[in-house]
Amino acid sequence: MAVDTSARTPTFTYVDGDWFAGNPPLIGPVSHAMWLGSTVFDGARWFDGIAPDLDLHCQRVNRSAENMGMKPTMAAEEIERLAWEGIAKFDGKTAIYIKPMYWAEHGQAGSVVAADPESTRFALCLFEAPMHTAKPSSLTVSPFRRPTPECAMTDAKTGSLYPNSGRMIIDARKRGFDNALVRDMNGNVVETASSNVFMVKDGVVFTPAANRTFLAGITRARIMGLLRQAGFDVREATLSVEDFMNADEVFQTGNYSKVVPVTRLDDAQFQEGPVTRKALELYMDWAKSTAGTDG
């Protein structure tokens, strides 16, 4: 039986100068991206008429492409303009995920494994995706680790890193948890399988220090800055599983759901605390007052 390849929610994709509804076929069996994994993407959000930090997400996808050995073909400002053009195609009732993407179509002459930067292609995909902000989540410590920059393309937001995240989540859900707390090769906590992570102890907010083994996200940086402006002591630090088990609060941040409280980490139980609630409040207040719109 053939697999249904239609988009699961209303979707529009810009590629090669045109917009297409649904899930257009873009990558073939000999495409480098399908065969050898040369894909990068980024993800911004539109909701309530705003798209917070859209410009930063458009800039980052170009950096990811360069770090993967590809050649960005679109200026970040043009990607941002196209995103607003795409947003106008929806009915405005449901939040949208904004996903600019690059991939290589061919490998280099004499070494097909390496992407040919001159064959870089671009697409911008937007699809409806409801927000799950503030929905409590449970974590378990993953047996799997984040790679170092010497082992994987950790300086790019690349699809090739996500099968590792996928197996972390599959393992966590088999054990009755929503997501996984993830360590680096030295055993220090760095993030969850799909988001950045914070903990609060005695009023101090901690998040794992960016060490190039994980994506230190745009929303992570925004939350850190807003909390500091509000007078909180926010520190990047080397953190252990034990630190998180003994925390007063734990929460996740990421573009997809912004701020998510953690109520369970293995056997440890947490309440959605005041700092977690304040982080979300500060973010939403900032987003609604200063984030970009299409004017």
How does pLDDT run along the chain (295 residues), one tens digit per residue? 799 999 999 999 999 999 999 999 999 999 999 999 999 999 999 999 999 999 999 999 999 999 999 999 999 999 999 999 999 999 999 999 999 999 999 999 998 999 999 999 999 999 999 987 778 999 999 999 999 999 999 999 999 999 999 999 999 999 999 999 999 999 999 999 999 999 999 999 999 999 999 999 999 999 999 999 999 999 999 999 999 999 999 999 999 889 999 999 999 999 999 999 999 999 999 999 975 554 3
Report the distance separating Cα 179 and Cα 181, nearest Å. Answer: 7
84 and 294 Cβ atoms separated by less than 8 Å: yes
Pseudo-torsion of CA 191, 196, 199, 204, nearest 10°? 120
Domain span holding position 67: 9-126
Co-location of 142 and 41 in the same domain: no
Domain stop point among 126, 147, 180? 126
Domain stop point among 101, 126, 151? 126
Q: How many CB atoms lie within 10 A of CB 74?
A: 21
Co-location of 146 and 280 in the same domain: yes
Tell me, yes or no, whether 232 lies in a domain.
yes
What is the per-residue burial (b if ≥16 Cβ within 10 Å, else e) of 4-34? Answer: eeebeeebbbbeeeeebeeebebeeeebbbe
Domain stop point among 126, 151, 169? 126
Co-location of 244 and 157 in the same domain: yes
Co-location of 97 and 213 in the same domain: no
Close Cβ partners of 231 (under 8 Å, ≥ 6 residues apart): none
Which residue has tokens 């859900």?
173
Tell me, yes or no, whether 233 lies in a domain.
yes
Tell me, yes or no, whether 295 lies in a domain.
no
CATH number of the structural domain spanning residue 196: 3.20.10.10
What counts of helices (H) and strands (E) characterise the chain?
7, 17
